[in-house]
Amino acid sequence: MMAFKPGVVRGGVVYWLPRPVTRVRIQEGFDSQTFKVPLRDGEMVTGQSRNGVDLLIEGQIGSQGETLLLSEQEMLEELEALRAACHPSGPEDLCEVVLYQDDVSGERRQYRDCSLVRLETDLSNPWLFTYSMVLRAHDPVMG
C-alpha cells in the first residue's frame, strides 16, 4: 500500500526528508500561443503544452525516520544532511523527488529530472527548526 514518504534520490541513494512534512504543493504551468482578432470577442488558443512542475515542500526538522531529534545540535546536523542531499555535484546532476512509496513492493510515485531551486530554513525557534524548499521537475509526469 502506498504511503506518503517524501524523499530525494540522488545517485541511487534515498534521503528521506525530515518529519513532519507539513505541506507539499505541486504547481503546474502551461505554454500556449494566443491569437486575438481585433473587434471580435474572444480569442483562439493553440499549441498548449505543459511546462516543468514546481514542487514546494515545507517541513519541520523534528525527526528523521523513527528517530526523534531533540537538541539544536542534532537538528543542525540533520539540516546539513538535507542540504547535502539536495546539493548537486555538477550542472547535469539531477535528482528524483519521491512522494509516495510502498515499503513492501518498493514501488514509488516520484518526479524525475529535478533540480533544487531554493532551500530556506528558519532557525529562530531552538526547539523546532523549519525548512521550505522548491524543486523544479523538468519532466512534468509523475512516474
Distance CA 82, CA 72 (A): 15
Structural domains of the chain ordered from first start:
3-137 (2.40.30.200)
Distance CA 46, CA 63 (A): 48
- pLDDT digit of tens for each residue in the chain (143 aa)? 999 999 999 988 999 999 999 999 999 988 888 888 888 888 888 888 889 999 999 999 987 777 777 788 989 999 999 999 998 888 788 999 999 999 999 999 999 999 999 999 999 988 889 999 999 999 999 98
pLDDT at 34: 84
pLDDT at 56: 98
Q: What is the pTM of this model?
A: 0.85
The length of the chain in residues reads: 143
63 contacts: CB under 8 Å, gap ≥ 6:
18, 19, 20, 69
Give the strand pairing for 44-64 and 129-137: antiparallel
Return the number of other C-beta atoms located less than 10 Å from residue 81's C-beta.
14
Query: What does the buried/exposed string (b/e) look like for 98-121 if buried means 16 or more CB atoms within 10 Å of the residue's CB?
Result: bbebeeeeeebebbeebbbeebeb
pLDDT at 33: 84
pLDDT at 13: 92
